[in-house]
Amino acid sequence: MKKIISKHGKIIMSVIMAVTMISAPHVGAFAADDNKTQEPSYRTTTEVFDWGPAITKIIVDLGETIPQSAITKDTFEVHVLRTENRANSPILGEAEGNCKIKNAYVSDDIGSIQSKGNYITFDLEVGPDVSLTSPINYNLTTNLNGWVNCDFTIKQKNDIVTDSGKISGLVINKFAGGTKKLVDDFKIGSATYDNVTLKYSSYKPENDYSKKPLIIWLHGIGEGGTDGLLPISGNKAVNFASKDMQAYFNGAYILAPQAPTFWMDGFTGFGDGSSKYEKALMSLIKDYVSKNSNIDTNRIYIGGDSNGGYMTMLMIRDYTDYFAAAFPTCEALKDTLITDKDIEAFKKVPIWFTAAKTDTTVPPADYVVPTYNRLVQAGDTNVHFSFFDNVIDTTGLYKKADGTPYEYMGHWSWIYVYNNQCSAIINGKVTTLMEWLSDQQLNKETKSQTGMKPITVSQTITVSQN
């Protein structure tokens, strides 16, 4: 079961992902203009995409005003050097090179285009196979991600003509900080229970003094460790805080705990049906709820991918009456470890499974398919399953050489969850995962869904690819 490499097995196949946050030392910058009183510097903008995070923008503070017409994509080059902080962690993908500049323009300090100003923004090429813009690296030995140092050097190639003269020869490598979209809206915390310390990320919705649900998300294998940012930025879990997703719940709290190693570390082995972090996790959840009085305790939802899907299954098995619903994705609790008694416990919790037929890391035939079938056969009427043929890009931005949509590793079915692209016909109505989730409450009678039947691995329950 150590082959459960969450999203990160794809790195080997398609050259690395990307995550947010650059925290590296940067040396000074030098300009040819002797009259300058302020040393030019740069800032970064990071966003989290379906494949992971990427540095999308470099924003340079020139320290003097220039017109929009003075800048083109060829005025500067943007060079990056990516280095590891961890021993024995070779960089996967490119470690150094010039980033492709998609666009360059005069802007304000947050990258919005202006007719004239003191800042230049460079929009960089990003994508599932672009490694130069990735500020994390996956360690193939530990199966954990870690931040890398990303040192940018912006060199001027062509002169900039302004009303006050000419600027030439700029070399800018002074780092002045960065922003991380959505990620910056989270707070990082740490708590210890019975000598187990868990880091976590948390998000609070705008306080309108009404009760709000809590969404708990449990990360995959690569996001374990002691950096609370990884659970939300190793892949697109941060999207639960987006306006679109929050709108389904009229605002929701988000809690993303982090296992020091793997949720699947059991008492007798890896993925043995137990977790040495389970009690500490439940203590953290209850502690967080007690400290946030606006959380509606009748609407606490739990989900997770792969290693986190495994832990989701354990939590609803052992704390059946606490969670209003669960949404495990490519879950890694083997069906042979689930007893008939466990099935009866699962029946008490509304569940929406997600997986893809091309998942070779957690083969559906050994995990989710037989478990789903057993629930259906046991009479569960509020269990749903989005079973995709494969995992593809649905944005239209990334394609294969033949023009068909870019295909991700089959284990990455969480992409459909983060984008709310899972849907099913429930009681005659097409319902998305988030619509369904937002409607679940403890002690609420739900209308029975009829006509549910067991499936085979060759069948597809739901396909929501655009």
SS (H, E, C) 208-254: CCCCEEEEEEECCHHHCCCCCCHHHHCCHHHHHHCHHHHHCCCCCEE
Answer whether residue 465 is part of any domain. no
Strands in 125-229 per DSSP E: 136-139, 144-156, 160-162, 165-167, 171-172, 175-180, 187-193, 196-203, 212-218
Q: Which residue has the tokens 């037989």?
A: 370
Same domain (yes/no): 166, 195: no
The span from the CA of 77 to the CA of 2, in Å, is 42
Same domain (yes/no): 192, 168: no
Asked whether the beta carbons of 127 and 55 are under 8 A apart, the reply is: no
Q: What is the DSSP string of 83-106?
A: EESSTT-PPSS-SEEEEPEEEEEE
Same domain (yes/no): 129, 233: no
Same domain (yes/no): 315, 227: yes
Same domain (yes/no): 114, 194: no
Which DSSP state fits 267? S
The alpha carbon of residue 153 and the mean position of all alpha carbons in its chain are separated, in whole angstroms, by: 28
Same domain (yes/no): 150, 200: no
Same domain (yes/no): 73, 202: no
Position 265 scores a pLDDT of 98
| CATH assignment at residue 89 | 2.60.40.2180
Into how many domains does the chain fold? 2
The span from the CA of 94 to the CA of 300, in Å, is 42
The span from the CA of 413 to the CA of 356, in Å, is 6
Asked whether the beta carbons of 464 and 387 are under 8 A apart, the reply is: no
Same domain (yes/no): 154, 234: no
Give this prediction's pTM: 0.89
Position 163 scores a pLDDT of 80
Q: Give the phi and the psi of residue 317 in degrees, each rounded to 5.
A: -70, -40
41: domain range? 6-180
Position 15 scores a pLDDT of 36
Answer whether residue 456 is part of any domain. no
Which DSSP state fits 409? -
Answer whether residue 147 is part of any domain. yes
Q: If DSSP codes are grouped into helix, strand and coil, which group holds residue 116?
A: strand
Q: Tell which residue, 172, 174, 176, has the closest CA to residue 77.
A: 172
Position 299 scores a pLDDT of 98
Let me know the angle formed at the C-alpha of 18 by 309 and 265, rounded to the nearest 5 degrees.
30
Q: If DSSP codes are grouped into helix, strand and coil, which group holds residue 416?
A: helix
The span from the CA of 7 to the CA of 356, in Å, is 13
Answer whether residue 36 is part of any domain. yes
Count how many Cα atoms sit within 13 Å of the Cα of residue 19 in the half-sphere of its side chain: 26
Let me know the angle formed at the C-alpha of 343 by 441 and 269, rounded to the nearest 5 degrees.
110
Q: Tell which residue, 434, 426, 104, has the closest CA to residue 301.
A: 434
Position 2 scores a pLDDT of 46
Domain endpoint, select from 151, 180, 209:
180
Angle subtended by helix axes 278-290 and 307-318, to nearest 10: 70
Position 25 scores a pLDDT of 32
Asked whether the beta carbons of 151 and 26 are under 8 A apart, the reply is: yes
Structure tokens at 406: 């870019």
The span from the CA of 58 to the CA of 120, in Å, is 8
Position 446 scores a pLDDT of 57
Same domain (yes/no): 175, 230: no
Same domain (yes/no): 35, 46: yes
Answer whether residue 455 is part of any domain. no
Dihedral sign for Cα 295, 300, 306, 307, please: positive
Domain endpoint, select from 126, 160, 180:
180
Per-residue pLDDT of the chain in tens (466 residues, 90 and over written 9): 544 444 444 443 343 333 333 333 333 333 344 444 578 999 999 999 999 999 999 999 998 899 999 999 999 999 999 999 999 999 999 999 999 999 999 999 999 999 999 999 999 999 999 999 999 999 999 999 988 999 999 999 999 988 888 999 999 999 999 999 999 999 999 999 999 999 999 999 998 889 999 999 999 999 999 999 999 999 999 999 999 999 999 999 999 999 999 999 999 999 999 999 999 999 999 999 999 999 999 999 999 999 999 999 999 999 999 999 999 999 999 999 999 999 999 999 999 999 999 999 999 999 999 999 999 999 999 999 999 999 999 999 999 999 999 999 999 999 999 999 999 999 899 999 999 999 999 987 655 555 556 666 555 544 444 3
Position 165 scores a pLDDT of 86
| CATH assignment at residue 422 | 3.40.50.1820
